[in-house]
């Protein structure tokens, strides 16, 4: 129901067992995610990444750090419909007692600062006071849960840090994330977010996504993990591909809102062709706004955009290796 779908993301950062914090260098995560962003946010936005020279050591979950960057980047994109600049950087800062009081739950000491700035329309003062509240959104109904920045806030708080926002109308917005700096570490984990061989598969996936840049990025990731990907941006062509490759396709990975017909309607046509196919829907729309009529919860799964690629790959692997799929 609606409460379940809206609170799913709220619970994501409160389930300690699914979070794997470790001492890591934030710089490679920022740089790697920065390389993915042009396909996600478009070529009309110039992306600048500045990483501090020394390792920016923090104690955090690498997938959650990527989720923070993706959420803030998508917010920046939405504020720059005509293009602009997205600047992301890491810095070292020392918070004194007065500065720490302004950034609860921070205490005085050394921090790694992740700064994400855009040259967009800015956030009005009356809105800035509410951006980290759950369910608060300025997007039109159905296009966002209002949990994106609240999720970022929760992840940062869980890591013992703080987040602040500064914005000027017509100038842009800067989000500053403060995470306690680790000065000495016995072991530093420095691995790619999606490790080669970490999740491997050979199955054939039908990918349907009308945003060319996002489709290309997802396809690249899946193929690097060994999957065969049949891709298209048109539902009618997806149905044709399903007919031609019905013996091969094991998973339908699709957007929800597309030209010609919506994802669930297309999925029902494909299910008639491939009765055993599993279905994973991706959407920036909230699940309660989408009609999954005729489908049971055991037949499909749902991930809300933006989604970290490691999370997506792991979900695909889980669905293809499990006899039963759950939302």
Note the pLDDT tens digit of each residue in 220-250. 889 888 999 999 999 999 999 999 999 999 9
CA dist., res. 227 & res. 223, Å (int): 5
Distances (CA, A) of 316 to 52, 81, 227, 282: 35, 31, 10, 12
Sequence-ordered list of residues with C-beta below 8 angstroms from that of 294, at least 6 positions apart, any chain:
268
Q: What average pLDDT does range 170-175 have in this prediction? A: 93
Distances (CA, A) of 239 to 175, 186, 205: 43, 53, 13
| Per-residue pLDDT band at 200 (split at 50, 70, 90) | confident
| Per-residue pLDDT band at 35 (split at 50, 70, 90) | confident
CA dist., res. 170 & res. 173, Å (int): 9
Judge if pTM exceeds 0.85.
Answer: no
Can you name the CATH fold of 204-321? Rossmann fold (3.40.50)
| Per-residue pLDDT band at 277 (split at 50, 70, 90) | very high
Sequence-ordered list of residues with C-beta below 8 angstroms from that of 113, at least 6 positions apart, any chain:
90, 91, 92, 93, 176, 177, 178
Q: Are 301 and 327 in contact (CB under 8 A)?
A: yes
Residue 323's Cβ-count burial label (10 Å; 0-12, 13-18, 19+) is: exposed
pLDDT greater than 70 at residue 44: yes
Q: Where are the domains of the chain?
A: 2-180, 204-321
pLDDT greater than 50 at residue 164: yes
Query: In the predicted model, what is the mean pLDDT of the chain?
Result: 81
Q: Out of 4-18, 165-179, 289-303, 307-321, give the one with best mean pLDDT.
A: 165-179
DSSP letter for each residue of 184-197: --S--B---SS-TT
Q: Which helix (H) or strand (E) holds 172?
A: strand 172-180
Q: What is the CATH number of domain 2-180?
A: 3.30.565.10
Q: Are 62 and 193 in contact (CB under 8 A)?
A: yes
């Amino acid at each position: 129901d609606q409460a379940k779908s809206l609170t799913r993301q709220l619970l994501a950062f409160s389930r300690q067992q699914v979070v794997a914090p470790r001492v890591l260098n934030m710089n490679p995560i920022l740089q790697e995610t920065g390389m993915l962003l042009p396909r996600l946010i478009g070529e009309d936005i110039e992306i600048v990444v500045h990483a501090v020279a020394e390792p920016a050591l923090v104690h955090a979950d690498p997938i959650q750090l990527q989720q923070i960057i993706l959420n803030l980047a998508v917010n920046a994109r939405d504020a720059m419909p005509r293009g602009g600049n997205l600047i992301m950087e890491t810095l070292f800062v020392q918070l004194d007692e007065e500065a720490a009081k302004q950034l609860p739950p921070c205490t005085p000491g050394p921090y790694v600062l992740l700064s994400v700035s855009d040259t967009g329309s800015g956030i009005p003062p009356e809105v800035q006071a509410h951006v980290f509240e759950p369910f608060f959104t300025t997007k039109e109904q159905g296009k966002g849960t209002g949990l994106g920045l609240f999720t970022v806030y929760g992840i940062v708080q869980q890591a013992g840090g703080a987040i602040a926002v500064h914005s000027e109308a017509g100038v842009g917005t800067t989000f500053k994330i403060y995470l306690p700096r680790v000065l000495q570490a016995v072991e530093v984990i420095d691995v790619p977010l999606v490790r080669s061989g970490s999740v491997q598969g050979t199955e054939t996936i039908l990918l349907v996504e009308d945003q060319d840049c996002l489709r290309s990025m997802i396809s690249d990731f899946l193929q690097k993990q060994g999957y065969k990907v049949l891709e298209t941006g048109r539902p009618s062509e997806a149905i044709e591909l399903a007919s031609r490759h019905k013996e091969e396709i094991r998973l339908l990975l699709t957007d929800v809102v597309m030209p010609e017909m919506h994802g669930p309607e297309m999925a029902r046509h494909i299910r008639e062709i491939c009765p055993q196919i599993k279905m994973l829907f991706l959407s920036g729309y909230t699940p309660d706004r989408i009609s999954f009529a005729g489908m049971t919860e055991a037949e499909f799964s749902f991930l809300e955009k933006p989604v970290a690629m490691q999370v997506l790959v792991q979900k695909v692997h889980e669905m293809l290796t499990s006899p039963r799929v759950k939302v």
